[in-house]
Amino acid sequence: ARRSAFEAISIAQESISVKGIMELQRQTEVSEAAKAVLSAAMCMVAGVDDASMQVDAAGIPLGSWSDLRALLGKPGNFINALRRFPYAVDSGRLQDSNVPSSRQCLEALGAAELSGEDDL
């Protein structure tokens, strides 16, 4: 089960590109679901290594789109943090506060909003 989960997250991570993040940054507004998912992802990877996403996860939830865009200032750092995340978890570097902060981002929306196929 663990191996298949690792493979699934690796496949998902490979579909995220610097170009895609830069296109997202250029959007003047995004859906509440997009903000919630991005905030949750940022919360999970916040502070897991020394090189990227050195922010306090508790300060991310429910941020405005302009705040979230600012945190994506260097798309490569966010992508690297996502790719390093499984290894950070394995080595015990995931901060205890990251999970509840991430959950708070997603709980702000109903399950129906997160399961929709709406545009960004």
pLDDT tens profile 42-101: 888 888 776 555 566 666 656 789 888 888 888 988 898 888 888 888 888 888 888 998
- Asked if residue 119 is part of any domain, the answer here is no
- Asked if residue 69 is part of any domain, the answer here is yes
pTM, 2 dp: 0.78
- Asked if residue 105 is part of any domain, the answer here is yes
* Euclidean distance between CA atoms 68 and 75, whole angstroms: 12
Please give the structure tokens belonging to residue 20: 């895609």
pLDDT, one tens digit per residue, over 45-55 is 888 776 555 56
User: What is the extent of the structural domain holding 11?
Assistant: 2-114
* Euclidean distance between CA atoms 58 and 60, whole angstroms: 6
How would you classify residue 63: left for phi > 0, otherwise alpha for psi between -120 and 50, otherwise beta? beta
Q: Please tell me the predicted confidence (pLDDT) of residue 61.
A: 59
- Asked if residue 82 is part of any domain, the answer here is yes
- Asked if residue 110 is part of any domain, the answer here is yes
| Tally of structural domains, the chain | 1
- Asked if residue 120 is part of any domain, the answer here is no
- Asked if residue 60 is part of any domain, the answer here is yes
pLDDT, one tens digit per residue, over 8-17 is 888 888 889 9
- Asked if residue 40 is part of any domain, the answer here is yes
C-beta of residue 61 within 8 angstroms of C-beta of residue 101: yes
